[in-house]
Structure 1
Amino acid sequence: MIHQELLDLYTDYLLSSFSLTTATGLAELVDQAYSHDQITRFLSKEDYTPKTYWQQIKSVVRQIETDDGIVIVDDTIEEKPSTDENEIVCWHYDHTQSRNVKGINLLNFVYYRDFRKGQEMTIPLAWEVVAKAASVEDPNTHKKRRKSLRSKNEMVRERLRILTFQNRIRFRYIVFDSWFSSKENMTFIRQTLHKEFVCAMKANRTVAVSLQEKTAGKFVQVSALELAPNTSRLVYLKGLDSPVCLAKQVFTNKDGSLGVLYLVSSDTALTYQELTTIYHKRWKVEEFHQSVKQHASLEKSPTKTVRTQKNHIFASLCAFVKLERLKLCTKVNRFAIKHKLYLKALQACFKELTQLKTMYNI
C-alpha cells in the first residue's frame, strides 16, 4: 500500500526543486523528518503502476470529465544521456530531433477540458513505458540491439481499452498525430471503443472519393486529390469501411514557405472549422510534455533501477496534477507558479546570506 503522506511530500519536492531530485536532498530539506533510507524504500519497495496512479487521480477526473471530452495520445522521450542503459533507459528514435537519443520513451494519454472564461485543464490519465526487453541482431550491421516485445500502437490500443471500459472515463474524441494514424487504430477506436478519432494523416495515404470508386478499388493519394485549401469533404480511406471527413489545411511556415496538413475524422458531421479546432488541441500534450519535465522534475531524478525510474515517473505525473489543480484554483499559469516558488526561494537565500554577512561583519 502506498505511503500517502510520503507521496505528498515527494511530489511537493518535485514541484519545489530546481535541480536534481534525490533522496538525500529531500531528507535534508525536511531536516531528517524522513530519512534517506525511508525515501529510498518509498521509491523501491513496490511498483506504482498506472492502476495505482488512477486511484490517485480518479476523483479529479470525475470532476472535469464530460461526454464531449478529448483524450490526446502522444509520446515523448525523457532524455537520460548519463544513466546506465537498461530495458527502459535505452536508445529511441526521436522524430522531433530526427535522431536516436538515449532515455525513457513514454506514451502519454492526456485528458483536455476547457472551461468558460479561458480556464482549461490538462490531466494525464495514464502512461506506458516502452520497454525494450528483447535483444535482436541487426541484419545490416550484425550488431545486437534492443527491441520492444509490443509495438507502440498495440500499447496505445490496450491502454485506450482500459481507460474506456475499466476506468469508464467519459470522452468523445481521441486525438493523435500521423505517427499513430494506422488503420488498425482507427478501426479499433470506431468499432471497439465506439469513439471518434481526429488525427493527422500523411499525404501518401490513399482514398476513394465515393462509395462506387471504393467498391471499384479506385484509390488516389491524398496529395493528388482535388481539394481546395482550408476545406473538407467526405472520402473513403483505404482499409476503413465507413467514410471519413478529410480536411486540407494550408499554412505558412516560419521561413515563408507553404505547408500542407491533412486531417481526418470519423465524425462526418464536423465542419472544417470544428475539425481543425479539435485537432489543434493536440498541442496541449506538447505543453504537458514540456511542463512535466520543467516543472515536475521528470528528467531530474538520478534513479538507477527500472523500478525506481518508473516510480519516479508515477510521482512526477502526480506532481503535475497537483500543479494543474493549483493553476485552476489560483488562475495563474504553471510557469508563473513555478517562478513564484523560485522567487520565494531566492528571497530566502538572499536573506540568509545577508544575515551571515552581518554576523561576520563582511
Structure 2
Amino acid sequence: MYTDYLLSSTGPTTATGLSRLLEGSLSHDHITRWLSSTPLGAAEVWRQAKALIRQAEARRPAEDFAVLIVDDSVLEKAHTDANELICTHWDHSQQRYVKGLNFVTLLYQAGDLALPIAVELVRKTVSVFHPKTQKTSYQSPFTKNEYVQQMLRVAQQQVAYRYLLADSWYASAENMTLVRALGHHFIFALESSRTVALSEAARAQGQFQAVQTLVFPDTQPLRVFLRAVQEAVLVTRQVFTNQDGSQGILYLVSSDTDLDQARLTTIYQRRWKVEEYHKSLKQNASMGKAPTKTLATQTTHFLAAVLAYTKLEVLKLKCGIGHFRLKAQLYTVGLKAMYLQLRQLSA
C-alpha cells in the first residue's frame, strides 16, 4: 500500500497524506508506527526482484546474457536534520560535497529488465578526531568498495551474469580480482593516470606507464598488465563529443581479452541503465519526497522507494511503456479527476 502511494503521489509523501487518501481507514499514527518498526533491507529487495529475474532467465535467448552494474548515488536532503544516514557525502556527479543520503546499488540488467538486487545505505557511525583542526568528523565503518564486494559474494548464489560494469570509482585491483575469482568478467572505466605494463616482463621489471600515454593501433584495444591483477587485461580508448562541443576521452578496462573495440564499448554502454534507475527512483518513486525525521522512518521510506521502483519495472514490462510515461499517465488520470470534481463543485 505504501509503495503504491509513493508511485501515485506527485508531491510530498506523508503519513497524514496516505491516511487521508485512504479516507481514514488507516490512521496517521498507524502508518507512522509501520514506518518506525518495519525492518526493510537487502533481503526484501532481492525477494521482490527474484520472481521477475527467474522469468527473464527462462525467456532469454541463448545468445543473450545478463550483466550486473554497480554504482552509488546521493539523494540530496539539504534541509533535513543531520544524522548517521543524512550527512555529508561526496557526490561525484556534481564533483562536490552535499548533504544527503548515499546509497550503493547492485543492478541486474538483461534485455528490457533492470532491477536492483541489493542496496546498501551508507551510514557514518565512526567518529574521527582531527588534531590539526580540533574537529570531529564521522565516516562509515565500510568503504563503498567493501559494500560492493559483499554484494557480489551474495549475488553469486542468486543470479547468473557475464560481466560486472562500473565506473572508475570501483576499478580497484581488489574488485577485479574478486570478479575473476567468482568466475565472471568485468568492464570498468579507468582513470587516465592509471599505470600499466605492456608485457609480463615489463611488469616484473617495474616498467609502467600511464594509460593516457598509450598508443592504440587502429583504435583497437591493447593487451596490458596491471600492477596487482594477475591476468592480462584489455584497455581501450573511446573518444566522444560533449554537449558543449568539446571532446572527451573514456578509457575502459576488461578482463575478457577476446573482445574487440566495438563489442567492448557496446557492452559497457549497458551501464547507462543504472543512471536511468537513479533518475526514476528519485523522480517517479518519491524517494526524496518524505519529510521523515528518524533513522528508522527514513530507512524504511528509502527502501520502500526501491521496492516501488521494482513495481514500476513490472508495469513497464506489462504495459510496454517506460517509467516516466507511466507516471505521466497516472498524473493525467488524477488531473482529470480533479478537473471533473472542480466542475461539479462549480455547477
Q: TM-score range by the shorter chain?
A: over 0.9
Does residue 176 in structure 1 map to residue 128 in structure 2?
no
Structure 2 CA distance for partners of 1:83 and 1:273, relative to 1, 3 Å: same
For residues 15-38 of structure 1, the C-alpha deviation after alignment (integer angstroms, 9 at most, x for no partner) is 000011111101110111222122
Residue 96 of structure 1: aligned partner: 93
For residues 233-275 of structure 1, the C-alpha deviation after alignment (integer angstroms, 9 at most, x for no partner) is 2111121110011111111222222211110111111111111
Residue 325 of structure 2: aligned partner: 336
Percent identity over the alignment is: 45
Alignment TM-score, normalising by the size of structure 1: 0.91
For residues 150-190 of structure 1, the C-alpha deviation after alignment (integer angstroms, 9 at most, x for no partner) is 1111111011111113xx21111110000111111111111
1:293 counterpart letter in structure 2 = K
Provide the aligned C-alpha RMSD in A: 1.4
Residue 177 of structure 2: aligned partner: 187
* Cα distance in structure 2, aligned partners of 1:260 and 1:139: 40
For residues 44-91 of structure 1, the C-alpha deviation after alignment (integer angstroms, 9 at most, x for no partner) is 113111112222322112122468211100000111111111101101
Unaligned runs of 5+ in 2: none
Between 174-183 and 46-55, report the one with greater CA deviation.
Answer: 46-55
The 8 Å contact of residues 133 and 148 in structure 1, kept in 2 or not, is answered as yes
Residue 213 of structure 1: aligned partner: 202
SS in 2 for 1:199: strand
Structure 2 CA distance for partners of 1:229 and 1:156, relative to 1, 3 Å: farther
Give the C-alpha shift of residue 95 in structure 1.
1.4
Correspondent of 1:318 among 307, 310, 314:
307
* Cα distance in structure 2, aligned partners of 1:147 and 1:229: 46
Between 291-300 and 64-73, report the one with greater CA deviation.
Answer: 64-73
Unaligned runs of 5+ in 1: 1-8, 115-119
Alignment TM-score, normalising by the size of structure 2: 0.95
The 8 Å contact of residues 45 and 119 in structure 2, kept in 1 or not, is answered as no
Residue 36 of structure 2: aligned partner: 44
Residue 264 of structure 1: aligned partner: 253
Residues 1-362 of structure 1: pairs in structure 2 closer than 5 A: 9-65=1-57, 68-114=65-111, 120-165=112-157, 168-191=158-181, 193-228=182-217, 230-358=219-347
Give the count of matched residue pairs.
342
The 8 Å contact of residues 91 and 102 in structure 1, kept in 2 or not, is answered as yes
Q: Which runs of 4+ in 1 moved over 3 A?
A: none
Between 144-153 and 227-236, report the one with greater CA deviation.
Answer: 227-236
For residues 112-145 of structure 1, the C-alpha deviation after alignment (integer angstroms, 9 at most, x for no partner) is 111xxxxx12111110111000111235422211
* Cα distance in structure 2, aligned partners of 1:228 and 1:200: 20
* Cα distance in structure 2, aligned partners of 1:20 and 1:228: 55
SS in 2 for 1:249: strand
The 8 Å contact of residues 231 and 249 in structure 1, kept in 2 or not, is answered as no
2:321 counterpart letter in structure 1 = V
